[in-house]
Amino acid sequence: MSQNTALLVMDMQPAILSNLPDATQIVENVAKAIAIARSKNIPIIYATLGFKNGAAEISTNNKTFASTREHINHINFEEFTKVHPALAPQENDIHVIKRRISAFTGSALEVILRSKGIQHLVLTGYATSGIVLSTTTEAADKDYKITILSDGCADRDEEVHRVLTTKVFLRSAYVLTIEEWKNS
């Protein structure tokens, strides 16, 4: 692993993971990826979805978020943006809060990556068809080297996950299992 690599742990928040029938496996797998990154001194960056209380950042034009605005209007976003306890960040880890699907949008991610000289992103998170797809597309457009850990991602639709990890992502990223990444 080169020193210009970072592991991104994306949208691994209990409230978001509750959309999966069983989040146990993805949490365990991401915990393995985090342990590998720590053993190789690879920085870990957590990206979580969050809004200011009142969700003023949500436009009525945004089909993805507008329908949930009323439901999330009274959420305590300080709690909502916390990472699953089994994956909790440690003192030197970085945590960015994003305002849309991509880990880049509305967050300090790009500035942090530039400041640390990071050019290779290793992606994990939920959902494969959401944050992983969106972040991969944007990172590719920004000329980052990308590795996606196929078993470090999950989606409610297994077929969508399979198509993305075996076909679509291969256009712009390396797709490895956590074990393959560990041994690379």
Q: For 112-161, what is each residue's pLDDT tens digit?
A: 999 999 999 999 999 999 999 999 999 999 999 999 999 999 999 999 99
102 contacts: CB under 8 Å, gap ≥ 6: 131, 134, 135, 137, 138
**Residue 170 in this model has a pLDDT that exceeds 60:** yes
Rounded Cα–Cα distance for residues 72 and 90 (Å): 28
**Quick check: 108 pLDDT over 70?**
yes
Query: What are the pLDDT digits (tens) for 14-69?
Result: 989 998 999 999 999 999 999 999 999 999 999 998 766 666 565 566 566 555 65
Rg (CA), the chain: 16
pLDDT of residue 67: 59
In this predicted structure, what is the pLDDT of residue 174? 98
- What is the side-by-side strand order in the sheet with 174-176? 94-98, 44-49, 5-10, 120-126, 145-154, 174-176
For residues 122 and 6, the answer to whether their CB atoms sit within 8 Å is yes
State the residue for tokens 């190789």. Answer: 40
